[in-house]
Chains A and B, each alone.
Chain A
Amino acid sequence: MADEERIAIDSDADVVTARQRARELAAGLDLSSTDQTLLATAISEVARNITHYATRGEVRLRVIQDRDGRMGVEVVAQDNGPGIEDLDLAMQDGYTTGGGLGLGLPGARRLVDEFDVQSAAGEGTTVKLIKWARAPIRPALRSHRV
């Protein structure tokens, strides 16, 4: 497994850095340019909450691989902000009313393959996103090396 990259989010310029780095990682895994954009956009949505509501936070990026050999980019956005008291409300989809408490979480979820948010009032928020590459071209052989 590859190393983790940590990008401190102190200003909104860091949000740009984080999403561009994620895009580069995704490009390295041959994700389509559309998928790269979806991932970068999701990060932008989620990382913004760090700059708007928290004093400190970071984005951690990692290249991951599942059991079938499929590669993906995992993004964890964590902050020390006030936390989200009502997660259900935050994840509520409301196209026309801009639902989700304006945190952009339901929108970000639509852009990625796997999405998880952990948060509690006063305890900060951690959002995890995963964008997978399409199925591997050559399936990983169950090797029989001696």
Chain B
Amino acid sequence: MAVPILKQGPVLIASIQTALTDTDVLQLREDVMAQVTRHRSRGIIVDVTSLDVMDSFVSRSLRGIAHMTRLRGAETVIVGIQPEVAFAMVQLGMQFEDVQTALDLEEGLALLSTQLKEPLAGGG
């Protein structure tokens, strides 16, 4: 099932609603890259609030998305990692150091707003 990606000014918001299969994740990467290119987006928020599991594949893929979009001039923020998921991720030893994270959509937008030096709806 494809992840819906919304455009909000210079920022894209990808909201993951259901459990992701590996195929879904790869699809997401393609879709994000296509949208970033098309809209020349400067920021992307990937909202994982609904995910009850983030395994090493998903984590690696999200890191990959962040790296690739950065090369296209867009900054990625992962938001909504749940307490239990965060706990599992560190137990698993997932390195997420070079990826920005924020508590939720609102915080993510605020963070991007500061970095892009642009007011964003919903932030601040």
A touches B (Cβ under 8 A): yes
0 or 1 for each of B32-70: is its CB under 8 Å from A? (1 = yes):
000000000000000000001111110000000000000
Secondary structure at the B interface, as helix, strand, loop or mixed, is: helix
Nearest B-chain residue to A46, judged by Cβ: B55
Nearest B-chain residue to A51, judged by Cβ: B22
Interface size on A, residues (CB 8 A): 28
Interface size on B, residues (CB 8 A): 20
B21, B22, B57, B84: the one within 8 Å of A37 (CB) = B84
Given contacts A44-B55, A104-B56, contact A37 B87 (CB under 8 A): yes
Are B52 and A37 in contact, CB atoms less than 8 angstroms apart? yes
A111-B91 Cα distance, complex, nearest whole Å:
7
A15-23, A59-67, A83-91, A113-121 - the one binding chain B: A15-23
Residues of A within 8 A of B23 (CB): 12
0 or 1 for each of A35-56: is its CB under 8 Å from B? (1 = yes):
0111011001100100100000
Residues of B within 8 A of A96 (CB): 95
- State whether the Cβ of A81 lies closer than 8 Å to any Cβ in chain B: no
Are B52 and A23 in contact, CB atoms less than 8 angstroms apart? yes
Nearest B-chain residue to A41, judged by Cβ: B88
Given contacts A12-B21, A110-B93, contact A48 B88 (CB under 8 A): no
Are B21 and A34 in contact, CB atoms less than 8 angstroms apart? no
Given contacts A38-B88, A95-B93, A95-B95, contact A16 B19 (CB under 8 A): yes
Are A33 and B84 in contact, CB atoms less than 8 angstroms apart? yes
A16, A23, A37, A51: the one within 8 Å of B88 (CB) = A37
